[in-house]
Structure 1
Amino acid sequence: MEETTIVMYPAPSIGHIISMVELAKLLIHHHQHFSITILLTTGFMDHPSIDSYINRVSSSHPSITFHRLPTVAVNHTTTQSIAATAFQFIKSNAVNIETKLRQIIQTSVIKAFIIDLFCTSAMETASAMQIPVYYFFTSGAAVLSLYSYFPKIHSLTKSSFKDMVGVEISAPGNMALNAALMPEPVLDRDDPAYWEMLYFCEHLSKAKGIVVNTFRELEVVAVKVVEDGACFPDVEGSSPPVYCIGPLIADAQQPDEARGIKDCLSWLDKQPSKSVVYLCFGSRGSFSMTQLKEIAEGLERSGHRFLWVVKRPVQEHLGTKKVYDTTGEFDLSSILPSGFIERTKERGLVVRSWAPQVEVLSRESIGGFVSHCGWNSVLEGVVAGVPMIAWPLYAEQHVNRNVMVEDMKVAVAVEQRAGDMFVSGEEVEKRVRELMDSEKGREIRERSLKFKDMARDALGEFGSSTKALANLVQTWNVISH
């Protein structure tokens, strides 16, 4: 009997790798008869934390094997976006992917090749070898609908979204979105990343299926739209089946510099129930010193307890909200208003760079979560039943913000200044008070607790996500070469 295997291909960067590994663990937990091979690129966004993470997973899950592809040299120039460089790098791995797949099919039957959206360049190779290709979509169903519909939106205009001032973009299952808030890689038609994204989105409909990290009850409208195929307007025949298998949440990844983590958790354990506002903006979200100062002033004036994770600030003139070096040392007191830490020490704690978010959110003392609306953080907030303040920074986070505020109703949103998306200290104070003190805040908290139960049920023995996973595996058991 030939060995059967599932091959997975995440985009480079620890976040994408962790998501794919969580999917692998979920599969093995419910369906032990597969072995899983995960292919990793080498030469771009490599980081020592990836190797230590892989070693941990390999020793705890022997049926998951990692294979590093040969190094591909990448040439990033400042004239092109990081996204364009990343997509180019992934594309240049196509030949490595082909070699590895050919090697695997010598000894095994590949039941499915599961790829990240950004790894679409590997689809043609696998399809030519008659290997069924599936996408693992790491954002929610609303973003999946927007991306599936993107080729249609593209065909309706000749301008770049960044220049379409005041124009609203509509996609099925989504609220209208200001064109300038579309995900970065599609903002500018002169950026090669735009055309790569178009190519990825055109191929979503060609997959054998799309696995999504959400659950049906969380995004009712968007899930219906992708299941009915309404977001695939020009597809001949039927659109691919969609499998909502979430919420998948990663184990906490403690970076090497995670000193003082115990202090932060023991501090939380001493605070009253539902009294602390937790502020964290993802692995890369950061702010200018001016913005940090406004956040500090808003928190101080709100009078509420807080736990605030502060990353190294970004340079004012760059206008970016991302920091790529999150490990370097920096002095907190030099970037926050003079005396702030001293004045708020009875009710506030500021930690540098990182906190164990899943553990923090599960603490009884946490009463609210100010989030950048990255999908993993949204799911972590939902699973913990914590109401949120939505403060999107980049990527598809503005789409997620709309879902959180308008559809799920588990968040209030901060008002951001048009153009540079700056948020004033008054606004920070106002939203913290609204979430923690108002009737609306109380309603949001109740809804958040309902979603916490729904998330648990979805993953339970008879839950919607468990059934979706079983249906997916059944399609592989039927496929035979």
Structure 2
Amino acid sequence: MEANGSSRCNGNGNGYYAAGATAAGELAPHVAMLVTPGMGHLIPLAELAKRLASRHGLTSTLLTFASTASATQRAFLASLPPAVASRALPPVDLSDLPAGSAIETRMSEECARSVPALTAVLADLRRTTRLVAFVADLFGADAFDAARAAGVRRRCLFFPTNLHVLTLMLHLPDLDVAQPGEFRDLPEPLRLPGCVPVPGPDVLMPLQDKSDPCYRWMVHHGAKYRDADAVLVNSFDAVEPGPAAVLRRPEPGRPAVFPVGPLIQSVHSKGGGAAECLEWLDRQPARSVVFVSFGSGGALPSEEMRELALGLEQSGQRFLWVVRSPSDGGAVNDNYYDAESKRDPFAYLPDGFVDRTRGVGMLVPSWAPQIRVLAHAATGGFLTHCGWNSVLESLAHGVPMVAWPLYAEQRQNAVMLAEGVGAAVRVPEAKGRAKIAAAVREVMEGVGRGAEVRRKVAELQKAAADGLRDGGNAAAALAEVVGTWMRGEDQGDE
């Protein structure tokens, strides 16, 4: 994939749409999907594209931004089946943005400035494929303007996080008027229809400073979401029963909402260190290891990194820890665009820690095959940043969680998981080693709240699998969306 707007051809050399030809020689229905930056956005959209192909015979083109044309992303796109093509939008100039601009601001600006190029790409796809719909993810709502200009009849939003966050975004334009102060200063938790009450400091991080341009962008997106014909959400009813029930009811002026998750990778086995850590897991007793990872973009300050190490040691539990260099001098999401540690992460661990824990712990720098680790019989718990992809992967494999949120919507997710559905134990805000050790033991040994957390996660694992089967809630929701796309095609162009 090149950054000049060229496409990657899957299958044979006849173009990315050739794989979608039917037996009668017709082109299969095609969907264009805009992926705003981050592997956490790309992966679930790619899984949606794969499911559309396998269940409904649709082909797709994933449209990506030049800012994320990393080796990791290129390898991932090259691994997709022939029915899922990719195409890069040309780069846009973001040099005028202030240094230190929020990631959400950069993503939103990149999308808005790409609308002219995207309009041309979608017009081209209309000429060369049987384009029935356009799907943008949560920071790409401005792209609906491009789809409308290109004459794409069906325009949908894909929301890669959950129904709680979607509810907040849909109410945000009104909240912006009704709550003149900062969310972090609210005297009472924020209460939204069907949702778990969220304390002000735990509300979505991009909303925590109303003077930051990022906040205004989020309000803009919340209003723009109502331009969508439908919203596809990477969640499922059992993990969020309250907002699922509310959003299932039609509301004037709000698009229909369809929970179609969990959309997670089934296999991800490539990468350095994969074989070694999996072989280590093979030697451990069943459900005895806590997996510690802060996602593809997270990093800890050095003091918290030290307390985590000593807390794991004090817990007495076996652990597999994906270690990254600390975030000192930057932000906890410093690795968002590049998951590799910038320095030797092991140099920041406490003196003697590696030797003292050699028999019970394994340290992996930067990356581990998370899906395979969570699916392994030896894995009994997951200390996680509560990124939604990681949450869904944990639930799909029946692994209870220790919640340690960092940025984005993760603090809000932690509230929902710990105080709402009961699938996690949250590490207290003051993250000393003793409190970390206690939270890990609670989940791993099933003591205190840990027993109920383990029971609830097993229940949610079954519900997630049932929903994806033919006739299940998620499968039926996706089939209903595809049906509207096909009816839209029958009605002709706008």
Query: Could you say whether these structures have the same fold, taking a TM-score greater than 0.5 normalized by the shorter chain as the test?
Result: yes
Cα distance, 1:2–1:435 mapped onto 2, change above 3 Å: closer
**Identity of aligned pairs, percent?**
32
Q: Cα–Cα, structure 1 residues 409 and 159, in superposed 2: closer, same or farther, change >3 Å?
A: same
Give the one of 323, 328, 331 matched to 1:310: 323
CA shift at 1:167, angstroms?
A: 5.1
- For 2:484, which of 467, 475, 478 is the aligned residue? 475
Residue 426 (1) aligns with residue 451 (2): no
Paired residue for 1:448, among 457, 462, 469?
457
* Other-structure match for 1:178: 199
Aligned length: 461
Distance 1:152 1:381 in 2: 34
Distance 2:100 2:376 in 1: 45
Give the C-alpha shift of residue 478 in structure 1: 1.5
Aligned residue for 1:261? 274
Q: What corresponds to 1:294 in structure 2?
A: 307
Structure 1 position 37 matched with structure 2 position 61: yes
**Alignment of 1:48 onto 2:71:** yes
The superposition leaves residues 296-324 of structure 1 with CA deviations (integer Å, 9 ceiling, x where unpaired) of: 11111111111111111111x54645434
Deviation, structure 1 residue 408: 2.0
What is aligned with 1:285? 298
- Separation in 2, partners of 1:217, 1:165: 29
**Contact 1:13–1:46 (CA<8 Å) still a contact in 2?**
no
CA deviation string 1:21-54 (max 9, x = no partner):
111001001011x221222222x23312222222
Structure 2 contact 324–345 (Cα < 8 Å) conserved: no
Q: 1:460 to 1:4 in 2, by over 3 A?
A: closer
Match of 1:27 among 47, 52, 70: 52
Aligned-partner residue type, residue 280 of structure 2: W
SS for the counterpart of 1:367 is: strand
Q: Which runs of 5+ in 1 are unaligned?
A: 418-422
- Which residues in structure 2 correspond to 1:234-383 (within 5 Å)? 237=252, 239-253=254-268, 258-315=271-328, 317-318=329-330, 320=332, 322-324=334-336, 325-328=338-341, 330-383=343-396
2: CA distance, partners of 1:436 / 1:36: 42
The alpha carbon displacement at 1:227 in A equals 1.6
Partner of 1:80: 101
Please report how far the alpha carbon of residue 361 of structure 1 lies from its aligned counterpart in structure 2 after TM superposition: 0.8
For 1:320 and 1:366, locate their aligned partners in 2 and report how far apart those are by CA, in whole Å: 26
Distance in structure 2 (CA, Å) of the matches to 1:131 and 1:151: 26
SS at match of 1:74: coil
- In 1, the alpha carbon distance for the partners of 2:158 and 2:462 equals 25
Question: Is the contact made by 1:275 and 1:366 (CA closer than 8 Å) also made in structure 2?
Answer: yes
Residues 415-440 of structure 1 deviation map (CA, whole Å, 9 limit, x = unaligned): 103xxxxx111110111121123153
The residue number in structure 2 matching 1:420 is: none
CA distance in 2: counterparts of 1:109 and 1:321, whole angstroms: 39
Decide whether aligned partners of structure 1 residues 4 and 260 sit closer, same or farther in structure 2, where only a CA change above 3 A counts. closer
The correspondence for 1:436, drawn from 440, 444, 463, is 444
TM-score, normalising length: structure 1? 0.90
When residues 40 and 342 of structure 1 are mapped into structure 2, their CA distance, relative to the original with a 3 A threshold, is same
User: Which stretch shows the higher mean deviation, 408-417 or 430-439?
Assistant: 430-439
1:99 to 1:319, Cα distance in 2 relative to 1, 3 A: closer
CA distance in structure 2 between the partners assigned to 1:333 and 1:41 by the alignment: 33
Distance 1:298 1:78 in 2: 36
Q: 1:209-224 maps to which residues of 2 (within 5 A)?
A: 209-224=230-245
Paired with 1:303 and 1:38, the residues of 2 have a C-alpha distance of 45
Shift of 1:161: 3.1
Question: Secondary structure in 1 aligned to 2:300?
Answer: coil
Aligned partner of 2:89 in structure 1 is 69
Instruction: Using the TM superposition, give the Cα deviation of residue 253 of structure 1 relative to its aligned residue in structure 2, in angstroms.
Output: 4.8
Residue 396 (structure 1) aligns with: 409
Q: What secondary structure does 2:312 align onto?
A: helix
Question: What's the CA shift string for 1:234-275, capped at 9, x where partnerless?
Answer: xxx3532211111111255567xx332211111111111111
2:481 corresponds to which letter in structure 1? L
Contact 2:231 2:257 (8 Å CA) reproduced? yes
Q: Which consecutive residues of structure 2, in runs of 5 or more, have no partner in the other structure?
A: 1-25
CA contact (8 A) 2:425 2:449 kept: no
**What do residues 199-256 of structure 1 show as CA deviations (whole Å, max 9, x unaligned)?**
1111222311111111122211121122225xx7xxxx3532211111111255567x
Q: Select which of 134, 156, 167 maps to 1:145.
A: 167
Deviates further, 73-82 or 362-371: 73-82
Residues 313-353 of structure 1: per-residue CA shift (max 9 Å, x gap): 111x5464543443246434421111111111111111111
Please tell me the residue identity of whatever aligns with 1:433: R
- 1:265-293 Cα offsets, whole Å, 9 max, x none, are 11111111111111111111111221111
**Cα drift, residue 174 of structure 1:** 2.2
198 and 386 in structure 1: CA distance in 2 versus 1, 3 angstrom threshold: same
Distance 1:321 1:88 in 2: 19
Cα deviation per residue 1:458-477 (whole Å; 9 max; x = unaligned)? 11122111111111111112
Q: Is the 8 A contact 1:252 1:357 kept in 2?
A: no
Contact 1:312 1:323 in 2 (8 A): no
Residues of 2 paired with 1:373 and 1:397: CA distance? 5
What is the letter of the counterpart of residue 36 of structure 1?
A: S
Distance in 1, Cα, partners of 2:253 & 2:99? 42
CA contact (8 A) 2:52 2:59 kept: no
Taking the aligned partners of 1:123 and 1:116, their CA distance within structure 2 comes to 11
Q: Which amino acid in the other structure matches residue 441 of structure 2? A: R
